Structure 1
């Protein structure tokens, strides 16, 4: 898969510069591209490229902020989601240069998010004046456009990936909750997913608050049921008993994990771990089970860190059931593997039942 940073490619630049030229007769395509495509360009990662392009736009568009934004608002409707991440340069312009022009910047962010997303760009405004910005985002939560409604939730996530942190909201998320209440039954799954992700962020710092919200929402509608399940995924994976009980996963005292076998005791980095086990039910009634496994990865300092992976959720009707699983150690950009003794464990309804070891080795 091609890196996301390569969405800033020749096709994108041609479309961007040609469109700007239609609305700004003084814009120099050649000067802009010269400023962008420096010797350092190839070494820039995704957000570095975005910030660099935005600064080059600032250097080549009219110096007056509102004039420049006026041009970019016309351009943005022609350079849209089909270019992937690349149109994020438009809200990024507001983030870098519009903090002191609040009213006009709000108009721009609302417009730009329809064609990309202003989720990163709203955060400096939240940090500067949370009350004012959250009041605006509450308005956006009732907007006709689904992308604007999603922004109301996504922009205030306490732990939004790749974005600047919102430490005040990590400490106290009370300003976020009313917005999530407005959006929990949104007609678009795209928006409801953001609500769930926001609650999942909050659960990492305030699990009791999220469980209270989940209990209120559960059963209200099929939409809120989905939101709650997705929002509690971190608590479910951590084995939180209250979260598990909410979905009918009780203490698995009548379920045993037997015949646990690790078929690949040595796994090459880039290879596959293979293991199997049996579930045995020691009670006549059917049991609702959440079946997971955890890989205990070695970190750079030699300590182990656990990551949980779901196998399935089901009603266990038979007394004995065989389960086989493979886990890939294919090299990926989001995780670095270190050779040495790892562990794999089987988890039933949040309870770790059995643990085994395998060795991860370098491939040559």
Structure 2
């Protein structure tokens, strides 16, 4: 499996150098390559390569910041997607003191890639001023700009600098997020939901109150609030479960939890099945949990959603699922006795041990 850092391949860097030269005739490709390919290039991870490339552009393009931005704006249109974050990174490094030009640049770059990481430096520099700008962006006709308004101020953005102020007090974010709560774009709604989910990590009451006040008024809002509450639901937060109709009850029984094999090799998958029997009309959130063995030989639980459904009295439903034990960059597997559990509305109903070899 290719690593994300390999986005910045030799081919990419040659293409970038050619584009920069076409836009700025004084650009020296050989100097650019020398600035990029230092002895440690192969060892650099993704974000380190981003920073190396943006720094190399700084070292080989005009010294005047506002003279360089038009060059980067033109070139950025050719490098869409994740690889294009090198251009906002340039702004993050060298443009914090040049507010107006940087705002125009980040707004432009995010339409082709994303400025969600770069914008955080500006929030740290002047939170109030940046929030006002982001509120303006939340009304923009372009969905990428509206998403930047939400994604850029996430308190706990993966790969991004955390925002301690909003982790401590997320309330300044609420007017901006409420302005996007019915956004027509799923791309934007996902971002709003992720921002609110970040908030649940330290301030669950903020999102619970929002669910209490807003759920059921609009389909788009309902989708956001449900997705925003996923951590609370996995944590079996009683208030969140109740607000979505998942009351604790004894109307469901789980039986016949069977494993295809109780011995699983690392790299293979655990296949299992079980049945749910409804004793009455009920709404259920069905999850499974794996108690993974860690390197320290202690165990840690990870919960995965299976389904949300309504059951009628006497209904029997059978589920068959698989859990991969392939090693990934986000999870390494270790040998030992693991446990799988079936959860209904946050309550464990049955469990079974198996061995990972």
- Which bin holds the TM-score, normalised by the shorter protein? over 0.9
- Which residue of structure 2 aligns with residue 91 of structure 1? 88
Give the deviation of 1:67 after TM superposition.
Answer: 1.3
Asked if the contact 1:237/1:350 (under 8 Å) is kept, the reply is: yes
Asked if the contact 2:326/2:333 (under 8 Å) is kept, the reply is: no
Give the deviation of 1:91 after TM superposition.
Answer: 0.3
Partner deviation per Cα, 1:52-72 (whole Å, 9 max, x = no partner): 111111110111122122321
Counterparts of 1:213-292 in structure 2 under 5 Å? 213-283=210-280, 286-292=281-287
Query: What TM-score does the superposition give when structure 1 sets the normalisation length?
Result: 0.94
Asked if the contact 1:252/1:348 (under 8 Å) is kept, the reply is: no
Give the deviation of 1:184 after TM superposition.
Answer: 1.1
The residue matched to 2:322 in structure 1 has which SS? strand
Query: Is 1:303 the counterpart of 2:298 in the alignment?
Result: yes
The residue matched to 2:171 in structure 1 has which SS? coil
Which of residues 321, 332, 342 in structure 2 aligns to 1:346?
Answer: 342
- Which residue of structure 2 aligns with residue 24 of structure 1? 24
Query: Is 1:41 the counterpart of 2:54 in the alignment?
Result: no
- Which residue of structure 1 aligns with residue 325 of structure 2? 329
- Which residue of structure 2 aligns with residue 115 of structure 1? 112
* RMSD of Structure 2 on Structure 1 (CA): 1.5
Asked if the contact 1:298/1:342 (under 8 Å) is kept, the reply is: yes
Cα distance in 2 for residues equivalent to 1:62 and 1:152 = 30
Asked if the contact 2:251/2:278 (under 8 Å) is kept, the reply is: yes
Q: Label 1:321 to 1:145 Cα distance change in 2 as closer, same or farther (>3 A).
A: closer
The residue matched to 2:172 in structure 1 has which SS? coil
- Which residue of structure 2 aligns with residue 127 of structure 1? 124
Asked if the contact 1:252/1:351 (under 8 Å) is kept, the reply is: no
Asked if the contact 2:268/2:325 (under 8 Å) is kept, the reply is: yes
- Which residue of structure 2 aligns with residue 63 of structure 1? 63
Asked if the contact 2:253/2:349 (under 8 Å) is kept, the reply is: yes
Bigger CA drift: 260-269 or 165-174?
260-269
- Which residue of structure 2 aligns with residue 166 of structure 1? 163
Cα distance in 2 for residues equivalent to 1:358 and 1:252 = 29
Unpaired stretches in structure 1, ≥5 consecutive residues: none
Partner deviation per Cα, 1:317-356 (whole Å, 9 max, x = no partner): 3443332222111121110112111111110011111222
How many residues are aligned here? 356
Cα distance in 1 for residues equivalent to 2:216 and 2:315 = 31
Give the deviation of 1:262 after TM superposition.
Answer: 3.0
Give the deviation of 1:215 after TM superposition.
Answer: 2.0
The residue matched to 1:250 in structure 2 has which SS? coil
Give the deviation of 1:145 after TM superposition.
Answer: 1.4
Cα distance in 2 for residues equivalent to 1:227 and 1:133 = 24
Bigger CA drift: 160-169 or 5-14?
5-14
The residue matched to 1:333 in structure 2 has which SS? coil
The residue matched to 1:310 in structure 2 has which SS? strand
Asked if the contact 2:272/2:320 (under 8 Å) is kept, the reply is: yes
Query: What TM-score does the superposition give when structure 2 sets the normalisation length?
Result: 0.95
The residue matched to 1:175 in structure 2 has which SS? helix
The residue matched to 1:277 in structure 2 has which SS? strand
Counterparts of 1:133-172 in structure 2 under 5 Å? 133-172=130-169
Give the deviation of 1:14 after TM superposition.
Answer: 3.2
Cα distance in 1 for residues equivalent to 2:55 and 2:99 = 20
The residue matched to 1:176 in structure 2 has which SS? helix
Asked if the contact 1:184/1:192 (under 8 Å) is kept, the reply is: yes
Cα distance in 1 for residues equivalent to 2:249 and 2:296 = 34
